[in-house]
């Protein structure tokens, strides 16, 4: 039986792997969060893996507070750069496959056609910078690795846009949401499922970058409108511009990801974002 270590297992994506555990009983899934394994300390990583040999490491741990990363730089760097570097080196030593989850924030959002894995990266904030440096650390290791960039992640777990819109929609009866940023919502359950399908199929010996999000695209306004509609909440949603809702860190105006590489290489069936959102909201 193959052993798979999942780090950051209390987060949105990590929690979805816990949900999948019953369906993937052919794997010994080992769930850790910072209490069990501090990925920022290489000696802790090496000690853990010497006691728990694994065939694959899936890194779901990340510092994801985009605005707070601007001031909390040391911790963001430790988790998003040092952590993946340590895990990649440990995976290489253990001859294990390493799967690292990254983000659309590595792009500047100035494009107008879906980003491929070969497109120029140019992060605009410190969060994006750390995620890109984390990718580079994995690429510079000797690990057999998959870097999977995703976007607009949500789930029934932890804090996210879907839960925030439902909460505020019910409380306020009126929402104003940015309508000039385009991207694709991604249901964390779909990403976790895709990763479980991929780890058995990948036979390469080097690091590959892939893009994964649900199919289709929308704006944050369009996303919010669909959340409110599916939730049956009596709330008006109004479109606003990015300028009307200033934030400490710039968001990509366009971050639609091209998924053709991951679809072709692994014969993945990717659900449409609206279908996946409906499945998630039923669980809420």
Distance from C-alpha of 64 to C-alpha of 171, rounded to nearest angstrom:
26
Residue 143, token pair as written in the block: 């690990």
Other beta carbons within 10 Å of 249: 16
Contacts of 9 (CB under 8 A, 6+ apart): 15, 17, 18, 31, 32, 33, 60
Query: What DSSP character marks residue 260?
Result: H
Q: Are 104 and 252 in contact (CB under 8 A)?
A: yes
Q: Is 63 a catalytic residue?
A: no
Distance spanning both ends of the chain, measured CA to CA: 34
Query: What is the rounded radius of gyration, in angstroms, for the C-alpha atoms of the chain?
Result: 18
Closest CA to 161 of 181, 135, 143: 181
Q: Are 162 and 153 in contact (CB under 8 A)?
A: no
Catalytic residue among 63, 127, 221, 254: 127
Active site residues: 127
């Amino acid at each position: 039986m193959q052993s798979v270590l999942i780090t950051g297992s209390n987060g949105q994506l990590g929690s979805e792997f816990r949900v999948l555990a019953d369906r993937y009983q052919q794997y010994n899934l080992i769930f850790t969060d910072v209490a069990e394994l501090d990925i920022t300390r290489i000696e802790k990583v090496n000690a853990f893996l010497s006691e728990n040999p694994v065939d694959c490491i899936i890194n779901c741990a990340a510092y994801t507070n985009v605005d707070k990363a601007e001031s909390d730089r040391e911790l963001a760097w430790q988790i998003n750069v040092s952590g993946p570097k340590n895990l990649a080196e440990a995976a290489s030593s253990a001859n294990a496959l390493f799967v690292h989850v990254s983000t659309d924030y590595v792009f500047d959002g100035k494009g107008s056609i879906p980003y491929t894995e070969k497109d120029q990266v140019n992060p605009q904030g410190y969060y994006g910078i750390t995620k890109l440096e984390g990718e580079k650390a994995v690429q510079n290791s000797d690990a057999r690795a998959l870097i999977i960039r995703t976007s607009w992640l949500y789930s029934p777990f932890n804090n996210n846009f879907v839960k925030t819109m439902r909460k505020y929609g019910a409380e306020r009866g009126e929402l104003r949401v940015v309508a000039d940023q385009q991207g694709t919502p991604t249901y964390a359950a779909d990403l976790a499922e895709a990763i479980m399908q991929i780890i058995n199929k990948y036979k390469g010996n080097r690091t590959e970058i892939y893009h994964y999000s649900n199919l289709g695209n929308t704006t944050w306004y369009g996303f919010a409108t669909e959340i409110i509609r599916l939730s049956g909440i009596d709330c008006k949603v109004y479109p606003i511009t990015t300028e009307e809702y200033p934030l400490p860190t710039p968001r990509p105006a366009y971050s639609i990801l091209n998924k053709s590489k991951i679809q072709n290489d692994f014969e993945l069936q990717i659900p449409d974002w609206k279908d996946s959102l409906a499945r998630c909201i039923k669980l809420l």
